[in-house]
A and B are shown apart, each in its own frame.
Chain A
Amino acid sequence: MRALAALFALLLSTFFALPAAAQTQQNEEVKPVPLLTGSTGFITTFDGGKPHLHPIVTPLILVPIARRWLFETRATFETDMVQLPGSSAFHGTVQKEVEYAQLDFIANPYITVTVGRFLTPFGIFNERLYPVWIRNLQSDPLILPIGIGPSNASTGAMLRGGFKAHPKLNINYAVYFSALLTVPPVNSDRFAGGRVGIFVPGARLEIGGSFQHGLQDTRSNAFGFHAIWQPPALPLDIRSEYMRSIAGSGYWAEAAYRLSQVPFLQNELRRTQVVTRVQQYFVGENASDALLPVNTKQFEFGLNYYFIDGLKASSNYGRQFSVDGNKNVWTLSLTYRFVVPLGRVGSE
């Protein structure tokens, strides 16, 4: 373990010792301004015929510091309002959570050091596709809780970065360590892991894998693969993930097609996107409360309409199959992404 730590320290010092010429040269003419950004949404779900109203606000604060630092924190305020027996009114309590609060130091073009509470980089959905204004279907993938910890985040340190490994190939990676924290809602498990991805810009294809080793309880391993492909000739997004852990395993695959190439009603159809997703989940040896208790299969079909930049209406229908019973899941939502500068935006 000590040898590993020494090797890690040596690797770190080697990277930090890169010549100054390789340091990040942020455009000096443009000083970044602190931002309040994030998303808000109103999501209505009919899960097996039972209505849920789900308003959500997710503010994200970005504070750039000097030329190579960034403090970022995201919180969520949401409620799941349901009808109580014998009452037609909807009731629910507001849940508040700091999803992450991290300090990033862009050490050089190859390494960014992150400390604090950060979204666990296991797979791609939790870290990159989770916000309601980004995701193509509002329902979470069934396997989302695998590998991301009890509150979707880790507490510790992470090294990450993306660099050009070949003129036609980029590599991105993240390695992290999370400490045990038992204070909800910011609890986290003790584990270490990493993710690596290969991105081919010409083909607009990214494939990668994640690995995680638990450092508590069963000390089990988890791993996963992900792929994103946007064929250059088509307005099509294909995304997929597979994950496996002691708690369960499964996959999801999603295709989203923007109707911008349809030769009629172009003003409307170029704003319209059809989405379909198939997913399957298998229960593992150690059941987890965050995951479904039985093997489940789900098909979904959705339609998104982009009014303006950041404002989107979505609807989707899903059919879930499990031994607990099959059911329909309908979702309607309106989401909006906002960006508010917290300072003067004139160039300095």
Chain B
Amino acid sequence: MWRRYILLCFMGITAGLTITAMAQERANSTASPNSAAPAPAQGTAASPTATHTSAVSSAASDADEKRALRLEGEKRFRINCGRCHQPPHKFPPRVMAAAIRHMRVRAMITDEDMQLILGYMTQ
């Protein structure tokens, strides 16, 4: 009887946590603005000034994209590593590459998360 009661309690807590998480996830998605980098301007003019502007815009866009990737990598690093232990400091790139492969297996980090974390930790 006790065991059934505990099992029911556990299932109830699990269901409660799931509902909370889903509600929180929904609230986050509606509250936060779209964080994607703005799309590059689609200029049609072919003048040198326009070309120069386009190149500067493209470089700025690349920098924005790198920055977004770095921020996303840091976010994934905190979320994934912090699930089990205190997120470690940065290690040299080759050390980090071995560690992240180990974590890929041990903590079952997704391929995408692994790439983003590795990118962040080796920059």
Q: Which residues in A have some Cβ–Cβ distance to B below 8 Å?
A: 24-27, 30-35, 37, 62, 64, 70, 72, 104, 106, 109, 112, 114, 127-129, 133-134, 160-164, 168, 170, 172-174, 197, 199-207, 225, 227-230, 232, 240, 242, 244, 249, 251, 280, 282, 306, 309-310, 337, 339, 341, 343-348
When distances are taken between beta carbons in the complex, the residues of chain A under 8 Å from B92 are 341, 345-346
A230 touches B83 (CB 8 A): yes
A27 touches B118 (CB 8 A): yes
When distances are taken between beta carbons in the complex, the residues of chain A under 8 Å from B97 are 26-27, 30-33, 64
Cα–Cα, bound, A346→B93 (Å): 8
Main secondary structure of the interface of A (DSSP, over half): strand
State whether the Cβ of B86 lies closer than 8 Å to any Cβ in chain A. Answer: yes
Chain B stretch 1-37: residues in CB contact (< 8 A) with chain A: 2-3, 6-7, 10-11, 13-14, 17-18, 20-22, 24-25, 28-29
When distances are taken between beta carbons in the complex, the residues of chain B under 8 Å from A229 are 17, 21
Cα–Cα, bound, A189→B25 (Å): 41
- With both chains docked as a complex, state the minimum distance between the C-beta of B31 and any C-beta of chain A, in angstroms: 11
State whether the Cβ of B52 lies closer than 8 Å to any Cβ in chain A. Answer: no
**Count of A-B contacts judged by CB separation below 8 Å:** 159
- With both chains docked as a complex, state the minimum distance between the C-beta of A167 and any C-beta of chain B, in angstroms: 10
A161 touches B108 (CB 8 A): yes
When distances are taken between beta carbons in the complex, the residues of chain A under 8 Å from B22 are 200, 203
State whether the Cβ of B46 lies closer than 8 Å to any Cβ in chain A. Answer: no
B94 touches A31 (CB 8 A): yes
Main secondary structure of the interface of B (DSSP, over half): helix
Chain B stretch 81-97: residues in CB contact (< 8 A) with chain A: 82-86, 88-89, 91-97
State whether the Cβ of B67 lies closer than 8 Å to any Cβ in chain A. Answer: no
A347 touches B13 (CB 8 A): no
B111 touches A127 (CB 8 A): no
State whether the Cβ of B41 lies closer than 8 Å to any Cβ in chain A. Answer: no
State whether the Cβ of B61 lies closer than 8 Å to any Cβ in chain A. Answer: no
A-B pairs, top 5 by smallest CB distance, nearest first, are: A162-B108, A203-B21, A32-B98, A172-B108, A109-B111
When distances are taken between beta carbons in the complex, the residues of chain A under 8 Å from B28 are 202-203
Cα–Cα, bound, A47→B25 (Å): 44
Partner of B110, one of A62, A170, A204: A170
Partner of A168, one of B25, B88, B98: B25
A202 touches B18 (CB 8 A): no
Cα–Cα, bound, A35→B18 (Å): 38
Of A34, A127, A204, most B-chain CB atoms within 10 Å: A204
State whether the Cβ of B66 lies closer than 8 Å to any Cβ in chain A. Answer: no
Cα–Cα, bound, A23→B18 (Å): 32
B84 touches A128 (CB 8 A): yes
Cα–Cα, bound, A129→B85 (Å): 8
